[in-house]
Copies of this chain bind each other. A is one copy, B any other.
Amino acid sequence: LPRNTVTDAFGSANTPSLFAIIFGVNPETQPVLSDSFWHVFPLPANVFTVFTRRNSGEFMSTFGLIEYKDASSEVRAVYDDIMATRKTDWINNFWKAIAHDPALLQRTWESIKQIMAPGALDPLTKELLYIAVSVTNNCHYCIASHTASAFGKGMTDAMFKELQAVIGMANETNKLVTGYQVEIDDRFTPPLPR
């Protein structure tokens, strides 16, 4: 059984959820299969095939992901700076997806690097704020990536739980305020005492 081929198909970085186990057929040459393929593909008699079609509901980045090896020197320079700044050896999909617009990639990374650096607020607090925004915006990628990042920066399980409780409560009282049409107290009008 050509199980190595199977393993290769799984490991293909560009097709994490579409894969084909085709014994005797090269999956590299047909990574994305059109609808009509499923109906008319003339399978040779000696080929046993198991397909898992990409699921609706899953995302696949509009232009695909630009891997380091395929990147221009301009893009690589940003990738290198991301990895050096973060002391890591990989690049997450967000950067690979927006790398199709190198100006956006560079501008976004420069802003992120500046904003998320230690300052009056420490980097972990900034990650927690990022999660609070991302949960409120319902951005699943952002929640997943910044939750991972926050754990990496020292967020404990207890902190995660309090974070979620605050986010939930804030979303509730935001709506109570809105629904009851509460007017702003004069004391909350700037200038505010420190």
Contact = CB atoms under 8 A, between A and B. Distances in A.
A73 interface: no
Contacts of A98: 164, 176, 180
Given A166-B126, A171-B174, A184 B56 contact: yes
Q: How large is the interface on A (under 10, 10 to 19, 20 to 34, 35 or more residues)?
A: 35 or more
A194 interface: yes
Contacts of A6: 49-51
A36 B97 CA distance: 19
A131 interface: yes
B53 A55 contact: no
B1 A48 contact: yes
Interface of A: 1, 3, 6-7, 10-11, 14, 16-19, 21, 32-35, 38-39, 41, 43, 45, 47-64, 90, 92-94, 97-98, 100-101, 103-104, 107-108, 111-112, 114-116, 119-121, 125-126, 128-145, 147-148, 151-152, 156-194
8 contacts: A14-B191, A63-B180, A97-B182, A108-B173, A132-B136, A133-B171, A137-B138, A164-B180
